[in-house]
Chains A and B, each alone.
Chain A
Amino acid sequence: NAGVTQTPKFRVLKTGQSMTLLCAQDMNHEYMYWYRQDPGMGLRLIHYSVGEGTTAKGEVPDGYNVSRLKKQNFLLGLESAAPSQTSVYFCASRTGTRYTQYFGPGTRLTVL
């Protein structure tokens, strides 16, 4: 099993550009999550999904959109990137009955 994978690993954007981060898991997990990690702030939840076709807002959803069209994939979109979105983004997944989240390796995004 590859576990949780994230694409791309690194990305540099200019202000106003758009992009999509892809998270994929091969563990048949129902729940998937997107976090951002900034120095001194820990991990903050952006959006999450409790199943295919469902999404919900987390702590810091503004400026991001998500979609979960397939159970194994969870996409995070930035429609118009801003320098404040420079961060490391982590995806995680878990089953519906077991509470441990499994994390991907992260995507480092820089917005100039």
Chain B
Amino acid sequence: AQSVTQPDIHITVSEGASLELRCNYSYGATPYLFWYVQSPGQGLQLLLKYFSGDTLVQGIKGFEAEFKRSQSSFNLRKPSVHWSDAAEYFCAVGAGGTGFQKLVFGTGTRLLVSP
């Protein structure tokens, strides 16, 4: 069965510093991978997605993620964090093959930004 692991429950980063959030997935075929962000009291917003092609994908708000098949990873990065990036971040994998119907989410990583 598909699964997603986000090993870091909380991460604190200084404003202006770089960020990397880790995501590892378990899936037998080519995965469809997503990163969503949830601001406090809000719903989830898509940051970026990977379906195929270039393994480095760009998203909104200056985020990027790199798909590494050999490591079963899809880590999210940002070169310089802003205070407004404080939120919870969820990695997800599309489950059920091509034309999949469901997403499987990780447990999330809460990002705290210090001044």
Contact = CB atoms under 8 A, between A and B. Distances in A.
Interface in A1-35: 4, 31, 33, 35
Interface residues of B, number: 22
Contacts of A106: 41-43
Nearest to B6: A42
Contact of B42 (A99, A102, A105): A105
Contacts of A101: 46, 103
| Count class of interface residues, chain A | 20 to 34
Given A90-B43, A103-B44, A105-B42, A48 B101 contact: yes
Contacts of A104: 43
A50 B101 contact: yes
Interface of A: 4, 31, 33, 35, 40-45, 48, 50, 56, 58, 90, 92, 99-106
Interface of B: 9, 32, 34, 36, 41-46, 49, 51, 90, 94, 100-103, 105-108
